[in-house]
Structure 1
Amino acid sequence: MDIDEVFEALSSKVKSYEKRLSQIEMSKDVYDLMINGQIGLIEAPTGIGKSFAYLVASSLFVKNFNKKIVIATSTINLQRQLILKDIPVIKEIFKDIVFDIALGRQNYACKRKFYAYASSIFSNIEDPKAFLANLKHGTKDEFDFWQEDIFEQIKSDKDSCMGRFCPQYRNCFFFNARARLKDADIVVTNHHLVFSDLFEVGEIFDAIDVLIFDEAHNIEKNLTSFATISFNFYDQLNLIRNFFSVISKLKLFELITKTTQTMDKLKDELINLANIVDYSTTYNEKYAKDFLIRVLDLQKQLVFDFINYKDKLDIELGVDFKALVDKFNLNLKILESFLSQNYEEAVYWLEKFKDIVLFNITNLNFADLLKKNLYPKVDSVVFTSATLSINSDFSFIKGVLGIDKASEKTFKTEFDYKSQAKLIIVNNIRDPQNDGYADDVSTLILKVAEQIHKGTLVLFTSYKTLNEVYDKAKDTLKKLGYTVLKQGASDNYNMQKVFFNSKTILFGVSSFWEGIDIKGENLSCVIITKLPFEVPTHPIEKAKYANLEKKGQNAFLNYSLHKAVLKFKQGFGRLIRTKDDTGFIIMADNRVLTKPYGKIFLNSLPEVDIETKNVEDLFLNLSR
C-alpha cells in the first residue's frame, strides 16, 4: 500500500472527505523526509489537512520500517483532535499499529500516597482499593469531582517516588503508562514533555526515530517556558500545606509554628518588593538586592528547621519529606543564583504575581539546546504549522530552532479568500497610547455588531485594553442579543462550545489568536484590534533584543517584526476554516497602511480583497 492508496481508503472511512492534492503531496513530503533522515520545515495553511497528512505518512513509515515516531503538539485542543477524531480513523486502515498518548508524571495519581493519606483527606471514600480499581488510567481528569488542591497531595512526583521499592510499583498508574509507551509505534504528546525527556529526564521515550512538531510556531514560546525556573512563594506554600495536611496526625506543632512564622516573613518581604515592581522587570541590584538577601536567609532557615525534624518521621513519610526538602533546596539554589548572576546566557527577572514577586531565571540559548540535545538524537525532525514563514522565507524560524540546513516547503491555501472573505482596514481609530483608544475600539465593535448579527471574535494584545473595551461595550451588546464572553471568565474549551449554541461575541487575547476552530456562521467576523507586537519592555524580550544588538542586528526588524507577522497570520486564519465559510476580518490598526513595515504584514496574507474605511462608513453584507 502506498500513500495514494491510503488516501483512497480514507475517502471511504471519513464522511464528507474531500480529496485534497496538497494534503497528499504533504504526506509524501513527510514520508520522504523520514526515509532520507532529514529536517523539514512545512508550512501548511488551514484547509490542507496536515494532521491526516503526517499521520498517514507516519503510519506507512512504521508499517514498512518498524520505527518509533513521536508527534508533539502545543495545545490540548489539537491533542484531543488527534486522539479522539483523527487516529481512530487511521487505525481502521492500519489495524496493527499501536498509538498511545504520553502525559506528564504530574497527571497521574500515586497509589502509595493515596493509600497512605486516604483516611486524612478522602473521608467521602469508604473503600479506597475499590475506588482505585474502577479508574482506567489514574489520571487527573478521572478525579475531576475533587478540588484540584486535593489531587496535588496524591499526584505522582519524581522526587517522592520510591520506584521499585514502592509496595505499589507493579500496579503503579504512572509506570504502567510508561510501560505501554515502549510498545507504542506512534506516541502523541506535547512540546514540553519532549523537551523534558530530551534535555533532562530521559525516562519517557527509549528512542525516537522520527519527531514531528505540529504547531511548531509555538516552539520558541514553549522553550521559553521550559527553560524558566522560578522561586514561587505560592507553590512552596502549597507544598507545605499539602505536607502538613497529611502528617497532622504526627502532631509536629513546633515545626508547623516555626514554618508558618518563616513563611509569613517571606511573604511580607515579597509583598514589599512587589510594591516597587511594575509587572515584570529585569532584576536590578539597586533596589532588589536587600530584599533578595533577606528572602535567601529566610529560605535557609526554612530548610534548617525541616531537616531538624527528619528523624521524627517513619520511612514512608520520610520519602515525601525528603522530596519537600529537596524542593526547598532547589528554591534556595535559585535565590543563590540570583545573587551571583553567574550565567551569561540567562536573564534574571522579577515577575509580579498576585500580591508578591516571583524570582525567575530563563536560559535564552535555545538554538544551542536544540543542536546539542535534539538533532543528534533523532533521525528525522519535521516542523509543521500554518504559520512558519514570512513570505515563504523560513530564515527567522531556522534561526530560532538552530537549523543550518533543512528541506523547506510552503503550501498554498485551499481556500478562495477572494470570494470567501474581505479584509477591512479601519483608518480612523486613535493611537493605542491615546486616552480615547478604548472608546474608539468599543464604537467599532458596536458598529460591527449592529450589522452582522453573527458570531464575532475580537482579538486584543493585552488584558488591560480587553477589560476596558469589554466594560464599555458589554451592556449594549447584550441588548443586541449577543452572548458576550471574555477570556478568563471560563476555560477556553467551554467558551468555544458556546459559539455553537448562540449568537456570540468573544473578547480574547493570546491563546485565542490561534487554536480556536469555529466553522460556519458561528464565526463570521474577526476584529484584530492591534498589531500583535510583543511588549518590548518585558525582560525576556529586552534580553533577546540586547543579544541581537550585540551581534549587530536590528532587533525590531529581525526579531520583533517577524514574531508579530506570524501571530498576525494566526489571528487572520481564525475566520475561514472550510470552503463554505465566509466573513470579514476587520483591522483596527492603521499602521499596516502608514508604516513601512505594514506591507510585510499584508504581503504575508493569502490573496484577499482589501478595503479601507472609516468606522462610520462601515457596511458589512454577508450575502455578497
Structure 2
Amino acid sequence: MCIDEIFEILRQKVDNYEKRQSQIEMSKDIYNLMLNGQIGLIEAPTGTGKSFAYLVAASLFAKKFKKKTIIATSTINLQKQLILKDIPVIREIFDDIVFEIALGRQNYACKRKFYAYAASIFSNIDDPKSFLSGLKNGTKDEFDLLEEGLFEQIKSDKDSCMGRFCPQFRNCFFFNARSRLKDADIVITNHHLVFSDLFEIGEVFDTIDVIIFDEAHNIEKNLTSFATLSFNFYDQLNAIKNFFNIMGKLRLFELISNATKTMDDLKEELLKLSNLIDFSVNYDEEFAKTYLLNILRLQEQLVFDFVNFKDKIDIELSVDFKAIIDKLNFNLKILKSFANQDALSCVYWLERFKDVVLFNITNLNFADLLRKNLYPKVESIIFTSATLSINGDFSFIKNILGIEDAFEKTFKTEFDYKKQARLFVINNINNPQSNNYEEDIAKLVLSVASNFNKGILVLFTSYKTLNEVYNKTNTLLNDFGYNVLKQGFMDNYNMQKVFFKSKTILFGVNSFWEGIDIKGDNLSCVIITKLPFEVPTHPIEKAKYANFAQKGKNAFIDYSLQKAILKFKQGFGRLIRTKKDTGFIIIADNRLLKKSYGKIFLKSLPEVDIEIKSVEDLHLSLNS
C-alpha cells in the first residue's frame, strides 16, 4: 500500500470523512522525513487532519522497516482523541501494527509495597491478592475507589525498586508495561516522559527511531517544567509520614521523635520566609540567605537522624528506608546548590506554596539540553502544531529548540474564514489596570449572551479576572438559558462533553486556549478578553528577558510578542473546526488598534474580515 491508497481506505471507513490534499501531502512529508532521518517543522492549521497524517506515515514506516515511533502530545485531551478515536480506525487498516501507551513509573502500583503494607494502610481490602488479580494494568486510576492519598504509599519509584531481586518482578505492573513497549511499533505518550527518559532515567523506552512531537508549540513550557528541580517541604513530609505509617510507630519512637521535631523546626523557618515574599521571587534577597542557612542546617540534621537509624531497620524494609534517605539527600543537594548558585544557565527562585516556600532551580538552556540529549539519540524528529510559525517564519521556535537546519513547511488552511467567520475588535473596553475592567468584560459577555443562542467560549489570561467576571455574570447567564461552566469544575475532556448536551458558556484560561475541539453550533462564539502576553514578573521570565538583553536583543519584540502571537493564534483556532462551522471571534483588547504590534497580531491570522465595534453596537452585528 502507498499513502494515497491508505487515505482512500480511510475515506471509506470514517463517517463524514473529507478528503484533504494537505493531509495527504503532510503524511507524505512526514514519511519522507522518517525515511531520510531528518528533523521537520510542520505547521498544520486546524482542519488539516494532522493526527491521521502522522499516524498513517508512522504505521506505514513501521510496517515496511520495523522502526519504532513515539508520538508525544502535550495535552491529555489529544492523547484521549488518539487512543479512543483515531488509533482504532488505523488498526483496522494496519492490523499487524502494535500500539501502546507509555506512562511514567509513578503511575503504577508496586506489588511488593502493596503486599507488605496492605494490612496497615488498606482497611477496606480483605484479600490483597484477589484485589490485585482483578486489576488490568495496576495504574493509579484503578485505585480511585480506595482512600484518598493511599496510592502515594504504594506507587512504584526508582529509588525503592529492587528490580530483578524483587519477589514480584515477574508479575510487576511497571516492568510488564515496559516489556509491552519493547514490542510496540507506535507508542503514545507525553512530552515530559520523553524528556525524562532521554535526558535522565532511560527506564521506559529501550530504543526510539522516530519521535513526533504534536502540540510542539508547548515544548518550551514543558521543558521549563521538566528542567525545574524543587525542594517541596510537603512532598518530603508526606514521604516521611507514609514511611512511619508503614513501619509502625512503636518500633520507630526515637526516630519519629527526632524527625518530627526537626521537621517542625524546618516548617517554622519556611513559614517565616513565606511571610516575607510575594507569590514568586528571584533568590537574590539578603534576608532569604539568612533563612536558607537555617533551613540547610535543619535538612542536614534530618538526614543525620535517618542515617543514624539505618542499622535498626528490618532487612525487608531497608530498600524503602534507603529511598527516604535518598530523597532527603536529593533535597539537601538542591538547598546546597541554592547556597552556592554555581550554575550560570540556571535561575534560582522561591515560590509560595500553601504556607511555606518552595526552592526551585530551573535550567534555562533548553537548546543545549536538546542538542545533547535528544537529537543525537533519535534518527528522525518531527515537530508539528497548528501554531509554530509567525507569518510563515519558524525562527522563534527554531531558536528555542536549538535547531539550525530543518525541513520547514506551513500548510494553508482548508477553511474559508471570510465566509465562515467574522472578527470583531471592541474599541471601548477599559484598560485591564482600571477598576472598571472586569465590569466592562462582564457587560460584554452579557451583551453577547443575551443576543445569541449558541455555545460561547470566553478566554481569559488570569484566574482572578475569570472568577470576578464569572461571579458578576453567572446568575443572569443562567436566566438566559445558558449552562455556565468555569475551568476547574471538571476536567477539560468532560467539559467538552457538556457542550454537546446543552447551550453552554465556558470561562477558561491557559489550557482552553488550545486543545479544545467543539464543532458546529455547540461553539459558535469565542471571546478573547485580553491579548495573551505573559507578565514578565515571574523569575523565569525575568531571567529570559535578562538573557535577551545581554545578547543586545529586545526581549519584548523577540520573545514576549512572539509567544503571545502563537497563543493568540491558538485561541482564534478554537472557533472554526470544520468546513461547515460558522461563528464570531470577539477581541476585547483595543491594543490591537492602538499599538503598533496590533497589526502583527492581525496579520498572523487567516484572511478574515475585521470589524471595529463598541460593546453597545455589537449586538446589532450579531443579529445581522
Query: TM-score scaled by structure 1?
Result: 0.98
Q: 1:621 to 1:589 in 2, by over 3 A?
A: closer
Equivalent position of 2:229 in the other structure: 229
The runs of 5 or more residues in structure 2 that have no matched partner are none
The answer on whether the counterparts of 2:451 and 2:622 sit within 8 Å (CA) in structure 1 is no
Q: In 1, distance between residues paired with 2:437 and 2:92?
A: 54
Equivalent position of 2:37 in the other structure: 37
Q: In 1, distance between residues paired with 2:622 and 2:66?
A: 51
Tell me which amino acid in the other structure corresponds to 1:143: F
Q: In 2, distance between residues paired with 1:84 and 1:494?
A: 14
Instruction: Report deviation, 1:253.
Output: 2.1
Q: List aligned pairs for 1:276-295, cutoff 5 A.
A: 276-295=276-295
Q: In 2, distance between residues paired with 1:167 and 1:241?
A: 25
Q: In 2, distance between residues paired with 1:471 and 1:292?
A: 41
Aligned residues: 624
The answer on whether the counterparts of 2:140 and 2:151 sit within 8 Å (CA) in structure 1 is yes
SS at match of 1:149: coil
SS at match of 1:170: helix
Instruction: Report deviation, 1:250.
Output: 4.9
Equivalent position of 2:437 in the other structure: 437
Q: In 1, distance between residues paired with 2:489 and 2:284?
A: 35
Q: In 1, distance between residues paired with 2:434 and 2:287?
A: 31
Tell me which amino acid in the other structure corresponds to 1:17: Y
The answer on whether the counterparts of 1:486 and 1:507 sit within 8 Å (CA) in structure 2 is yes
Instruction: Report deviation, 1:497.
Output: 2.2
The answer on whether the counterparts of 2:192 and 2:223 sit within 8 Å (CA) in structure 1 is yes
Q: 1:147 to 1:570 in 2, by over 3 A?
A: farther
Instruction: Report deviation, 1:155.
Output: 0.5
Tell me which amino acid in the other structure corresponds to 2:292: L
SS at match of 2:506: strand
Equivalent position of 1:89 in the other structure: 89
The runs of 5 or more residues in structure 1 that have no matched partner are none
Instruction: Report deviation, 1:16.
Output: 1.4
Q: In 1, distance between residues paired with 2:620 and 2:605?
A: 21
Deviations for 1:102-147, whole angstroms, at most 9, x for unmatched residues?
1000010100000001101112111111111111111111112124
Q: In 2, distance between residues paired with 1:250 and 1:411?
A: 67
Equivalent position of 1:596 in the other structure: 596
Q: In 1, distance between residues paired with 2:493 and 2:127?
A: 34
Moved more, 12-21 or 252-261: 252-261
The alignment status of 1:502 with 2:522, answered yes or no, reads no
SS at match of 2:454: coil
The answer on whether the counterparts of 1:452 and 1:620 sit within 8 Å (CA) in structure 2 is no
Q: 1:348 to 1:60 in 2, by over 3 A?
A: same
Equivalent position of 2:241 in the other structure: 241
Q: In 2, distance between residues paired with 1:437 and 1:153?
A: 47
Equivalent position of 1:342 in the other structure: 342
The alignment status of 1:539 with 2:517, answered yes or no, reads no
Q: In 2, distance between residues paired with 1:316 and 1:515?
A: 46
Equivalent position of 2:61 in the other structure: 61
Q: List aligned pairs for 1:175-254, cutoff 5 A.
A: 175-248=175-248, 250-254=250-254
Deviations for 1:372-407, whole angstroms, at most 9, x for unmatched residues?
111111111100000000001000000000000011
Instruction: Report deviation, 1:494.
Output: 2.5
Q: List aligned pairs for 1:317-356, cutoff 5 A.
A: 317-356=317-356
SS at match of 1:252: helix
Tell me which amino acid in the other structure corresponds to 1:572: F
Q: In 1, distance between residues paired with 2:237 and 2:526?
A: 42
The answer on whether the counterparts of 1:236 and 1:328 sit within 8 Å (CA) in structure 2 is yes
Equivalent position of 1:455 in the other structure: 455
The alignment status of 1:138 with 2:138, answered yes or no, reads yes
- Structure 1 ranges of 4+ moved more than 4 A: 620-624
SS at match of 1:618: helix
Equivalent position of 1:580 in the other structure: 580
Q: In 1, distance between residues paired with 2:102 and 2:267?
A: 37
Q: In 2, distance between residues paired with 1:623 and 1:32?
A: 49
Equivalent position of 1:425 in the other structure: 425
Instruction: Report deviation, 1:493.
Output: 2.5
Q: In 2, distance between residues paired with 1:497 and 1:584?
A: 21
Q: 1:351 to 1:623 in 2, by over 3 A?
A: same
Deviations for 1:198-240, whole angstroms, at most 9, x for unmatched residues?
1111122222111110000000000000000001111111111
SS at match of 1:475: helix
The answer on whether the counterparts of 1:346 and 1:364 sit within 8 Å (CA) in structure 2 is yes
SS at match of 2:424: strand
Q: In 1, distance between residues paired with 2:505 and 2:520?
A: 15
Moved more, 288-297 or 142-151: 142-151
Instruction: Report deviation, 1:622.
Output: 6.2
Tell me which amino acid in the other structure corresponds to 1:525: C
Q: In 2, distance between residues paired with 1:250 and 1:371?
A: 52
Q: In 2, distance between residues paired with 1:251 and 1:506?
A: 54
SS at match of 2:149: helix
Instruction: Report deviation, 1:100.
Output: 0.7
Q: In 1, distance between residues paired with 2:71 and 2:64?
A: 18
Deviations for 1:14-55, whole angstroms, at most 9, x for unmatched residues?
111111111001001101111111110000011111000000
Q: In 2, distance between residues paired with 1:558 and 1:244?
A: 52
Q: In 2, distance between residues paired with 1:137 and 1:119?
A: 22
The answer on whether the counterparts of 1:514 and 1:571 sit within 8 Å (CA) in structure 2 is yes
SS at match of 2:151: helix
SS at match of 2:245: helix
Q: In 2, distance between residues paired with 1:621 and 1:19?
A: 34
Tell me which amino acid in the other structure corresponds to 2:28: K
SS at match of 1:452: coil
Moved more, 494-503 or 198-207: 494-503
Q: In 1, distance between residues paired with 2:582 and 2:254?
A: 68
Equivalent position of 2:126 in the other structure: 126
Equivalent position of 1:566 in the other structure: 566
Q: In 2, distance between residues paired with 1:69 and 1:620?
A: 52
Tell me which amino acid in the other structure corresponds to 2:137: H
The answer on whether the counterparts of 2:231 and 2:360 sit within 8 Å (CA) in structure 1 is yes
Moved more, 468-477 or 288-297: 468-477
Q: List aligned pairs for 1:476-515, cutoff 5 A.
A: 476-515=476-515
Q: In 2, distance between residues paired with 1:159 and 1:300?
A: 20
Deviations for 1:392-442, whole angstroms, at most 9, x for unmatched residues?
100000000000001100011111111111111001001111111111111
Q: In 2, distance between residues paired with 1:490 and 1:73?
A: 21
Moved more, 511-520 or 557-566: 511-520
> Root-mean-square deviation (CA), in Å?
1.3
Equivalent position of 1:77 in the other structure: 77
Deviations for 1:43-70, whole angstroms, at most 9, x for unmatched residues?
0011111000000011111111111111
Tell me which amino acid in the other structure corresponds to 2:53: A
Equivalent position of 1:159 in the other structure: 159
The answer on whether the counterparts of 1:420 and 1:583 sit within 8 Å (CA) in structure 2 is yes
Deviations for 1:429-472, whole angstroms, at most 9, x for unmatched residues?
01111111111111111111111132211111111111222222
Instruction: Report deviation, 1:620.
Output: 5.9
Equivalent position of 1:387 in the other structure: 387
Q: Percent identity?
A: 75
Q: In 1, distance between residues paired with 2:176 and 2:413?
A: 43
Tell me which amino acid in the other structure corresponds to 1:178: R
Moved more, 366-375 or 241-250: 241-250
Instruction: Report deviation, 1:316.
Output: 2.2
Tell me which amino acid in the other structure corresponds to 1:273: L
Q: In 2, distance between residues paired with 1:292 and 1:488?
A: 35
Q: In 2, distance between residues paired with 1:60 and 1:250?
A: 61
The answer on whether the counterparts of 1:448 and 1:620 sit within 8 Å (CA) in structure 2 is no
The answer on whether the counterparts of 2:423 and 2:608 sit within 8 Å (CA) in structure 1 is yes
Q: In 1, distance between residues paired with 2:83 and 2:68?
A: 17
Equivalent position of 2:16 in the other structure: 16
SS at match of 1:484: strand
Tell me which amino acid in the other structure corresponds to 2:478: K
The alignment status of 1:367 with 2:367, answered yes or no, reads yes
Q: In 1, distance between residues paired with 2:150 and 2:519?
A: 38
Tell me which amino acid in the other structure corresponds to 1:214: D
Equivalent position of 2:260 in the other structure: 260
Q: In 2, distance between residues paired with 1:496 and 1:241?
A: 39
Q: In 2, distance between residues paired with 1:350 and 1:464?
A: 22
The answer on whether the counterparts of 1:583 and 1:622 sit within 8 Å (CA) in structure 2 is no
